[in-house]
Structure 1
Amino acid sequence: MSSPEILLDVAHLSTHFETRRGVMKAVDDISFRIHEREIVGLVGESGSGKSITGFSILGLLDPPGRIVTGSIRFKGQDLVGLPAAQMRALRGKRIAMIFQDPMMTLNPVLSIGTQMMETVLAHDKVSRAEARQRSRDALGMVGIASPEERLDAYPHQFSGGMRQRVAIAIALLHRPDLIIADEPTTALDVTIQSQILFEVKRLAREFNMALIWISHDLGVVAGLVSRIMVMYAGRIVEAGPVSSVLDQPAHPYTAGLLAAIPAMTPKGMPLQPIPGMAPAPNLRPAGCAFQDRCRHADAACQSTPPTGMLGEQYWQCAHPLIHTSHKEPA
């Protein structure tokens, strides 16, 4: 069996926001690849640039945000600078996004059926009867009971978890090659979160879709993804197979994230939060942006941090934690 082709190739992407306080480097020279049918996690604290990365891929940046350098190749086609009409034809059909707040997808004054059918008709020339059938089938796939009746309901008649299932169903309508999920389970309780994670993973495998799952919680993505990319202050500081990154993190920031997860801390041991706060996007120091919060930092961290490889694992750090475990504090 041949190896999966590269579906998405992001190279040296930088997305900046020009404001009165200066240039905010939300995404600062990141590169990564996503293969067909691959499920990848993009993790980091709030403000690390995860969501802006997703918005950049989909061309959803609002002024003053703009891509200043880099390329985003989807199936070989560079999306940066693509005409708006071509981007609209691609967005939702070949690349879809699931937002953190389902109401960013759903219109409160239109029925669920109307919204789903319009989504189908926006990309495919089919009858309204077929569009309704596809909408009904999509609701059933994500576990919504009595899908025919629910098509006539409105968003306020659904619970938060059900609204998120509807948003997932809309993303699945065209069987896209890639779905970007932007923390879609953050506001849900643990039980509903677990159900949705299971359903999304099942559907991605069933329809041969690639998935980028954005999250601030390493624990959430651990059982979902095959590979993890850790983002801090606009940069990807570590990436590799999920088992390698979780069992032997190479970057002190990754180790700090793991040490702060209750489920991954030995019983009776205190949690070890990362001290301080991430620097503002316009006030990041030269060199490693994590240096002010890292107990390993020295003069070498004040210049551009070196990159390296540990097996399949990539890191960007002057002092990679090659022989430590996640129990070591950052």
Structure 2
Amino acid sequence: MNAVASKLPNNPVLRIEGLKTHFFTHGGVVKAVDGVDLAVNAGEILGLVGESGSGKTITGFSIIGLIDPPGRIVEGRIAYLGEDLAQAGEQRLQQVRGKEIAMIFQDPMMTLNPVLRVDTQMVEAIHAHEKVSAAAARARARDALAMVGIAAPEERLLAYPHQLSGGMRQRVAIAIALLNQPRLIIADEPTTALDVTIQAQILFEVQKLCRETGTALVWITHDLAVISSLADRIAVMYAGRIVEAGTAQQVIGSPTHPYTQGLIDSIPTRQTHGTLLRQIPGMTPSLLHLPTGCAFRPRCGRADAACTQVPAIVPQPSGAHTRCWHPLEAAHV
């Protein structure tokens, strides 16, 4: 067990150890997730942060078995309440999805059927896992729509997805995820299409849900500004690996990995008003052709010969864990 796995919460709702999800293409093996360790407790919000292509979404898909060929989980454990879902069959995964573990997709049309009314889809989502009357299921669907800020929810139940705006469709998708009171929710950039006021409302409702019901939440995003005020803990992901992990205060307040610092520097603040924002040089590397050693090495101003070897993820004075040969705090020691 590595340093991060040994520091993960005890008896969590979800515990991932050494997860590797690879895609076997004609061009070679894409190591989309390459040895990830994560855990989230009941009532806790874990933010999984990184640029596009870092492996965040594939990590989420791996948890609930939505990896299609040529991809597959090649190694690791995905322990949900002690049960290893990486070894579970499709029948068991279908029992878990939607009822015990719900996922909110970035694109709401991955959730919604364009030819069925909203009420039909929401009632079916309830009846798939629970025997309740049609009236009770409909009432629960209406209440879920109201919870995510949809006005006149009774009318919206009668609408088809194409009659709703993109933001409205996303709120319906979020409401469906909440219907069966899951133990764990995986949210993949769920507020990207929403305006700021509705986004704030959703974030408030999500925090309230986790506090009151003990629901565990993995919030996948590229937006550190959002996750800094939402998450209890943050894991920063780059090129398929966790490069920094700790409490939100540790990661945002005292970042130790140069990549984390680069993400923070790219956020506009009052202090940077009127000045050019710093940007991380270069592009995220192709997962087919990763550089040797530290994947961030070609974009890092602190890189040297040591960085041609893969660094281990080790504890830092701040309390966070960082995968870097030259963590930022080392410059001040």
Give the TM-score normalised by the residue count of structure 1. 0.94
Aligned position for 2:31: 25
Aligned position for 1:317: 324
2:116–2:160 contact (8 Å) kept in structure 1: yes
The percent of aligned pairs where both chains have the same amino acid is 59
Query: Aligned ranges for residues 161-172 of structure 1 at < 5 Å?
Result: 161-172=167-178
1:265–1:271 contact (8 Å) kept in structure 2: no
CA distance in 1, matches of 2:196, 2:135: 37
1:42–1:215 contact (8 Å) kept in structure 2: yes
Query: Does residue 286 of the first structure (1) align with residue 308 of the second (2)?
Result: no
Query: Aligned ranges for residues 124-273 of structure 1 at < 5 Å?
Result: 124-263=130-269, 266-273=272-279
Query: Does residue 118 of the first structure (1) align with residue 94 of the second (2)?
Result: no
- Which stretch shows the higher mean deviation, 138-147 or 115-124? 138-147
Equivalent pairs counted in the alignment come to 323
CA distance in 2, matches of 1:46, 1:126: 41
SS at match of 1:262: coil
SS at match of 2:259: helix
1:180–1:212 contact (8 Å) kept in structure 2: yes
Listed one character per residue, the Cα deviations across residues 212-244 of structure 1 (whole Å, up to 9, x for unaligned) are 110011112111111110000000000011111
CA distance in 1, matches of 2:187, 2:124: 21
CA distance in 2, matches of 1:121, 1:247: 45
State which of 60, 75, 79 in structure 2 corresponds to 1:73: 79
- 1:200, distance to aligned residue in structure 2 (A): 2.1
Q: Which amino acid is 2:107 matched to?
A: D
- 1:285, distance to aligned residue in structure 2 (A): 1.8
Listed one character per residue, the Cα deviations across residues 140-186 of structure 1 (whole Å, up to 9, x for unaligned) are 22222222222111112222222111111100111001100000112
Q: Which amino acid is 1:23 matched to?
A: V
1:112–1:153 contact (8 Å) kept in structure 2: yes
2:174–2:190 contact (8 Å) kept in structure 1: no
CA distance in 1, matches of 2:270, 2:49: 16
Listed one character per residue, the Cα deviations across residues 79-103 of structure 1 (whole Å, up to 9, x for unaligned) are 0121111110001000000011111
CA distance in 2, matches of 1:312, 1:211: 22
Query: Does residue 108 of the first structure (1) align with residue 75 of the second (2)?
Result: no
Listed one character per residue, the Cα deviations across residues 24-54 of structure 1 (whole Å, up to 9, x for unaligned) are 0000011111111110100000000000000
CA distance in 2, matches of 1:163, 1:87: 26
Q: Which amino acid is 1:114 matched to?
A: T
1:248–1:324 contact (8 Å) kept in structure 2: no
Q: Which amino acid is 1:173 matched to?
A: L
CA distance in 1, matches of 2:136, 2:250: 46
Listed one character per residue, the Cα deviations across residues 69-125 of structure 1 (whole Å, up to 9, x for unaligned) are 001000000001211111100010000000111111111111100000000010112
Give the TM-score normalised by the residue count of structure 2. 0.93
Query: Where in structure 2 are there 5+ consecutive unaligned residues?
Result: 1-8
Q: CA RMSD in A?
A: 1.7
SS at match of 2:244: strand
2:55–2:237 contact (8 Å) kept in structure 1: yes
Query: Aligned ranges for residues 85-104 of structure 1 at < 5 Å?
Result: 85-104=91-110
CA distance in 1, matches of 2:139, 2:115: 22
CA distance in 1, matches of 2:110, 2:237: 24
Q: Which amino acid is 1:192 matched to?
A: I
Aligned position for 1:42: 48
- Which stretch shows the higher mean deviation, 141-150 or 66-75? 141-150
CA distance in 1, matches of 2:180, 2:138: 13
CA distance in 2, matches of 1:76, 1:299: 41
CA distance in 2, matches of 1:131, 1:195: 24
SS at match of 1:238: strand
Aligned position for 1:328: none
